[in-house]
Amino acid sequence: MGRCAVVVGGGIGGLAAAIGLRRIGWEVTVVERAPVLDDAGAGISLHANGIRALEALGVGAPVRETARAQYTGGTRTPGGRWLARMDGAALERELGTPIVGVPRAALHRALRDALPSGALLTGEEVLTVEDDPDHDRVRVPLGDTVLESDLVVAADGIGSLTRGRLFPRHPGPRYSGSTVVRAITDEPVDAGTDFELTWGAGAEFGHIAFADGRAEWHAVLTAPPGLRHRDTLAVLRRRFDRWHDPIPQLLEATRPETVLHHDVHELATPLPRFAVGRIALLGDAAHAMTPNLGQGACQALEDATVLAAALATAPHVGAGLARYDAERRPRSQAVARAARQAGRLGAQLSHPVAVALRNTAMRLAPSGVTLRAVLRHADWQPPALG
């Protein structure tokens, strides 16, 4: 009898984990609490490590078909002055692939399409996982039914109920100090560059250009948690009306009902391990980080690939999870620390003197410094899955 797993959460990490486990011969059921998968979300940048993970999982091609390579762009001031240029061609030479931008919905669809019909259960919330060492199987109650498996992968996001039960004394997610508003333009726009960030005092605005001509934009603001506006888009249009082009144009090309607003939380206190018994934590449930390096999804994809590879060769589930924890915890937590530091030097920096010093340092830094900063996290090779 083959091994089987239950994956809790049908996001990027959970779907990728299911694909990886199926590639090594496991039967997998993904349980998602949302009743309808509406593919909510805006855009995402995938660095080489994320793309390599997708290739190892066998879904690189369909994602690339909907992606746009990021060759041009960089970081600017609100007045439009360049602080640092992005050299996408140099990254491609170093890593074999440029960073790409893709609608999050397209990535979700590519991952779902790689799973067989019936593998994804929607509208079901996992409230508890019963991992009794005296029994051979892990039990996942779902209403009147119970799923039994050899492994449970908790990919249920930053608010993971499973993580809370495994580590009841862990403080859980912490508000980062920033809130993010994002959307995709309703029609094609001339964004000027493939990817861009603009840093002001206590604020950041960025965009990702898509293959179909539309663009995703995001605004990161230093604000109290829970602060919301009756008309968020109108507030942003006033806030950024004097910032350089194409920022006002991107906001004008957006419908108010498509705007998403979320406070940014992170697991500032690292978990002591990513696996307990026959339960593995993955993605944001294990290492939720701020988005400042664009590595959140990439790290979840790495998790999924390493988990499958570790279980493929391990003599038993416990040994595989021990290897997964040993490989993934140090790296993902180091990336999370770097992302937090990047946020402090970016959108959260507000004192005029500090902003001026940062801007001067960025302008004077050799181009190789920026390249090495990206390579530090993106230059990762996935294990073989067969």
pLDDT tens, residue by residue, 63-105: 999 999 999 999 999 999 999 998 899 999 999 999 999 999 9
CA 207 to CA 248: how far, in whole Å? Answer: 12
Alpha carbon distance 153, 157 (integer Å): 11
Instruction: Return the pLDDT at 39.
Output: 61
Q: In the predicted model, what is the mean pLDDT of residues 353-366?
A: 88
Closest CA to 138 of 324, 329, 317: 317
Average pLDDT of the chain, as a whole number: 94
Q: Are 382 and 301 in contact (CB under 8 A)?
A: no
Asked if residue 40 has pLDDT above 70, the reply is: no
* pLDDT tens-digit readout, 304-333: 999 999 999 999 999 999 999 999 999 999
- Residue 246 domain-assigned (yes or no): no
The model's pTM is 0.95
pLDDT at 297 > cutoff 70: yes
* Beta-bridge mates of residue 153: 7, 280
What percent of the chain is modeled with pLDDT above 90? 84
**DSSP string of 283-351, one letter each residue:** THHHH---GGGS-HHHHHHHHHHHHHHHHHH-SSHHHHHHHHHHHHHHHHHHHHHHHHHHHHHTTT---
Q: Is residue 106 in a domain? A: yes
For residues 119 and 18, is the Cβ–Cβ distance under 8 A?
Answer: yes
Whether 1 has a pLDDT exceeding 60, the answer reads no
- pLDDT for the residue numbered 38: 63
Higher pLDDT, 373 or 31: 31
List the end-to-end C-alpha distance of the chain, in Å, as a whole number. 21
- Give me the number of domains the chain comprises: 1
> For residues 244 and 38, what is the distance between their CA atoms, to the nearest angstrom?
33
Residue 141: pLDDT over 60: yes
pLDDT digit string, tens, across residues 330-348: 999 999 999 999 888 888 8
Domain that holds residue 310: 4-68+100-174+267-345
Q: Is the dihedral of CA 336, 337, 342, 348 positive or negative?
A: positive
188 has pLDDT over 80: yes
The phi, psi pair for 258, rounded to 5°, reads -95, -5
- Judged against a pLDDT cut of 80, whether residue 264 lies above it is answered with yes
Residue 15 lies in a domain: yes
Pairing of strands 215-222, 174-184: antiparallel
89, part of any domain:
no
Residue 289 lies inside a defined structural domain of this protein:
yes
Tell me how far apart the alpha carbons of residues 244 and 102 are, in angstroms, rounded to a whole number. Answer: 24
- Helix (H) or strand (E) run with residue 374 in it: helix 367-378
Please report the pLDDT score of residue 190 as a whole number: 95
Q: Which two tokens stand for residue 116?
A: 């067989």
pLDDT the model gives residue 200: 93
Q: Average of pLDDT values for 33-44? A: 79
C-alpha span between 323 and 290 (Å, rounded): 26
Domain assignment present for 211: no
5: three-class secondary structure by DSSP: strand
Listed in sequence order, the residues at least 6 apart from 7 whose beta carbon sits closer than 8 Å to its beta carbon are 14, 15, 17, 18, 21, 28, 29, 30, 31, 152, 153, 155
Average pLDDT over residues 270-296: 96
Q: Is residue 225 part of a domain?
A: no
Q: What is the CATH number of the domain that holds 46?
A: 3.50.50.60
Q: Is 159 part of a structural domain of the chain?
A: yes
Closest CA to 151 of 134, 129, 168: 129
Give the lowest-confidence range in 55-64, 85-94, 179-188, 255-264: 85-94
